[in-house]
Structure 1
Amino acid sequence: MLYYVIDAFTDTKFGGNPAGVVIHDDLDEKFMQKFAAEVRFSETAFIKKFNNKMFEIKFFTPTSQVELCGHATIASFKALLDSRDVENNNTYYIKTLAGTLSVTLDQSIIMMEQAEPKLGKVFDDFECLSDLFNIDKSQIESENYNLVPQAASTGLWDIMLPIKTKDALYALNPDFKALAEFSKSNNVGGVHAFTLDTKEGIAESRNFCPLYGIDEEAATGTSNGALTYYLFSNHVLWNFNKEYTFLQGYSMGRPSTIITKLVNKENPRVMVGGNAIIVTKGILY
């Protein structure tokens, strides 16, 4: 079985978000969970090939299985390119706990379809949120748009938390234990804090998911997919089949670039993707 460490959403080693990837024939989930806890990446992906077009991918954090993971999917297809199980300029399908989704490879840029986009509960208790993140509540919302914190999903639920300035975004200092309890009680994975106060890209973000053993992630494809739909629903974005760029990980010293695209105007869906680079490759015994 091949085992990889791959940095996703970057073309530079030690940038982006690292993921473990295992290409296997028949591992059980108990082993997968133990292995994910051993290597301790935010997510490790386990790929099983069904045929030349269909793969099953299971995603594990160090503590639990999750339905979908964007950066680990990007890493998975970088590994499959290396193992010659897939080819450039083709479309493939992955079976996940979030459903069967398409993945397209175009000149080594990997774009994955997200699950059906949804908006959920609005979180208007700014006092509670400001306490969780140790910021002044006046920094929540946006300077130029009427944005409020709200749960959104394109496969995993996160709270989209608008922050007025980049300085305030970088100053977030979560109480991780309290945030994990807050996430669990509200049936979300975590909080995707973002600001539109950026000269590059649409937004810069930070993602916090202590409920699943991940205090902060350098790049989260599903969360930026959900953010794309949230911004579309709030009339910040409106163009279909146009690539949007989102930044993440800069506050962690792991700069990441996530590309998203709105498709199918009649029934909107979101594509998320980017590049990836192999850091190491070996054999899992």
Structure 2
Amino acid sequence: MDYYVIDAFTESKFGGNPAGVVIHKDLDEKFMQKFAAEVRFFETAFVKNINNNTFEIKFFTPTNEVELCGHATIAAFKALLDNNDIKENHTYFMKTLAGILPVEVNRSFFLMEQDKPKLGGLFKDYEALANLFSIDKDQIGSKEFHLVPQAASTGLWDIMLPIKTKETLYALKPDFKAIAKYTENNAIGGIHAFTLDCSKGIAESRNFCPLYGINEESATGTSTGALTYYLFKNKVLNDFDKEYTFLQGYSMGRPSTIVAKIVDKRYPTVIVGGNAVILTKGEIY
């Protein structure tokens, strides 16, 4: 069995978000969970070939299996390309707990269609949200748009938390225990804090998911997909088939670049993409 460590959503080693990838023929889920806990990446992807263009991919954090993971998907297809299981300039499909989704491989750039985008409930208790990060509640929102914290999903539910300034975004002091309890009580995976106060890209983000053993991630594809749809519904983004750039991980010293676009005016769908770099490759005995 081949095992990879791959940095996703970056063109440089030690940037982006690292993921483990295991290409296997018949591992059971008990082994997958134990292996993910052993290597302790935020997500490890276990990839099994179904036919020439379809792969089953299971995603595990150190503590749980999750329906979908953006950066681990990018890493998985980078590993498949290196292993000669797929070819450049083709579209493939991945069978996940979130459904069967297409992934386009184009000059070593990977574009993945997200699950059906959805918006959930509003979170108007700014005081409670502010207390989770030790900030003033007046810093929640946007200077230019009327943005309210709201649940959104393109595979996993997160709270989209708008922050007015980049300075405040970097100054967040998350209470991970309190965030885990808050998200569990609200049936939400994590909190995706973002600001439009950036000179490069559409938005810069920080993602917190301690409920699933992930305090903070440097790149989250599914959350960026959810943010893209949230910004589209709030009329921040208006163009179809236009690639928007999102930044993440800069405050952690692991800069990540995530590209997203909205396609299909009749049934808006979010596509998320990025590059990946192989750090190491080995075998599991």
Question: Scaled by the length of structure 1, what TM-score is found?
Answer: 1.00
Unpaired segments of 5 or more residues in structure 1? none
Q: Residue 245 of structure 2 aligns with which residue?
A: 245
Within a 5 Å distance, the mapping from 1:95-244 to structure 2 comes to 95-244=95-244
Letter in 2 for 1:63: T
CA distance in 2, matches of 1:267, 1:145: 24
> In the alignment, does 2:274 pair up with 1:274?
yes
CA distance in 2, matches of 1:57, 1:247: 26
CA-atom RMSD in angstroms:
0.4
By how many angstroms is 1:43 displaced? 0.1
Within a 5 Å distance, the mapping from 1:62-73 to structure 2 comes to 62-73=62-73
Q: Secondary structure at the match of 1:265?
A: coil
Q: Secondary structure at the match of 1:46?
A: strand
Unpaired segments of 5 or more residues in structure 2? none
CA distance in 1, matches of 2:74, 2:100: 16
> Post-superposition, which runs of at least 4 consecutive aligned residues in structure 1 deviate over 6 A?
none
By how many angstroms is 1:273 displaced? 0.7
By how many angstroms is 1:91 displaced? 0.1
By how many angstroms is 1:161 displaced? 0.1
CA deviations on 1:194-225 (whole Å, 9 max, x unpaired) are 00000000000000000000000000000000
CA distance in 2, matches of 1:142, 1:257: 22
CA distance in 2, matches of 1:28, 1:183: 29
CA distance in 2, matches of 1:239, 1:264: 11
Equivalent residue pairs, number: 285
CA distance in 1, matches of 2:31, 2:264: 39
Percent of residue pairs identical: 72
Letter in 2 for 1:138: D
Letter in 2 for 1:160: M
Letter in 2 for 1:140: I
Letter in 1 for 2:118: K
CA deviations on 1:166-193 (whole Å, 9 max, x unpaired) are 0000001111001000001101110000
Letter in 2 for 1:213: G
> In the alignment, does 2:28 pair up with 1:28?
yes
Q: Secondary structure at the match of 1:50?
A: strand
Letter in 1 for 2:102: S
Q: Residue 40 of structure 1 aligns with which residue?
A: 40
CA distance in 1, matches of 2:37, 2:149: 32
By how many angstroms is 1:261 displaced? 0.9
CA distance in 1, matches of 2:242, 2:282: 38
Question: Scaled by the length of structure 2, what TM-score is found?
Answer: 1.00
CA distance in 2, matches of 1:253, 1:174: 17
CA distance in 2, matches of 1:117, 1:79: 27
